[in-house]
Structure 1
Amino acid sequence: MNEMELARKIMHMTYLFRQERSAGMQQKEVFMTHRDVLMLDAILKLHPKEGMVRMNELSHYFGITPAAVSQMIKNYEKKGWIERVHLEHDRRSVYIKVCDSAIHHMQECENRITERLGVFLSSLGEEDAQALLRILEKGITFAREHHDSSKQEKGE
C-alpha cells in the first residue's frame, strides 16, 4: 500500500471512528465536542482566580476571529454552559464565565472518555497500547517540527 492509499485509509478509519462515537452517545447524555471542551477549559484556566475571560482573549488564545468566538459563545449560552458578566467597574467589557452545569458535563465527558479509552487500551494489550502511545508521540513531534518549519518558510 503506497503512502496516499494509507493516508486515505487512515482518514476513512478516523471518520468511521467518529461516526461510531457519535452513534454510541445516548440521547440523555450531554454531547460536548472536543472543541467545546477546549473552549470551556480555556475560559476556566486563562484566569483561574477570576474564572472569567473577555471574548477577545479567547480569540487571541485560539488564533480565531472574534466573530467565530462570538458564535461559539452564543451557542454555549443557549445551552446554558456559559453566562455573560458585566462588571461594575468595567461596563464596556463583557466577560464570559463557565456555569457549574457545564463544568459538571465536562467532568462527565472526561470520565466517560477515560473509561472508554481504558477499555480500548485493554483490548489492544500492553504491547499495542505502548506502540500506539509511541506513534502518537512521534505524530506530535512531527506536527511541532512541521509547524515550526512552516513558520520559518513564511518568515514569521
Structure 2
Amino acid sequence: MEKEGVPKAIETIKSYFMLQDKYFFENLKKIHNFTIRDYMVFHYIHVENPMHQVQPSKLAQYLDISPSAVSQLITNYEKRNWVKRVHSDTDRRNVYVSLTNEAHELMIERLPFEEVQIRKVISKCSTEDISAFIRVLSLINQQIPIEE
C-alpha cells in the first residue's frame, strides 16, 4: 500500500524539475545560447575538475555518450570558442579539454546568478520550511544510487 501523500510528492518533484528547467535553463539559453548539455559540460570541466580540464574519455563517461560523439561536441565547442584542446606537458599523447577564457568567464558570471536566483526564491520561505526542504531533499538524495 502506498504511503499517504506520495502521489502529491511525485507531482511536486516533477513540477520542481520542470520549473528548474524553465527558470534556470531557459534563461541560460536566452542569455548565452546554451543548452542543458552545454551547461553540464561547462560545469563538469569548470567546477568538478580542480585543474579545469578533462580528458575526452572522462567527458564521454560523464555524459554517457560515445567517444566519437564527444569528439564532435568538442569540435563544435571549439568553433564557438568555448573549449580548447590542451596537450599534456609530460606526455604529448594525452589530450585534455579546457574552457577558453570566454567560457570560463561565462561560468564565473553564471554561477553567482544561479545562487542569487535561488536565494530570491528561498527568501520567501520560512525557516521551518527551509529546514523541512533540506531534510526531505537530503532523504531523497540518499535514496538515489550514484554510479561511479
TM value normalised by structure 1: 0.67
Distance across 1 between alignment mates of 2:24 and 2:50: 32
Q: How does 1:20-31 map to 2 (within 5 A)?
A: 20-22=23-25, 24=27, 27=30, 29-31=31-33
Q: How does 1:2-151 map to 2 (within 5 A)?
A: 3-4=6-7, 6-8=9-11, 10-22=13-25, 24=27, 27=30, 29-33=31-35, 35-44=37-46, 46=49, 48=51, 51-61=52-62, 63-86=64-87, 90=91, 92-144=93-145
Unaligned regions of 5+ residues in structure 2, if any?
A: none
1:117 Cα deviation after fit: 0.5
- The structure carrying a bigger helix percent of its residues is 1
Measured at CA, do residues 85 and 21 of structure 1 come closer, stay the same or move farther in structure 2, by a change above 3 Å? closer
Q: Secondary structure at the match of 1:83?
A: strand
- Residue-pair matches, total: 143
CA contact (8 A) 1:32 1:109 kept: no
Letter in 2 for 1:143: I
Letter in 1 for 2:80: K
CA RMSD of aligned residues (A): 3.4
Residues 32-84 of structure 1: CA distance to partner in whole angstroms, max 9, x if unpaired? 45543442343345461xx5433123224555421332243233223321012
Distance across 2 between alignment mates of 1:79 and 1:53: 18
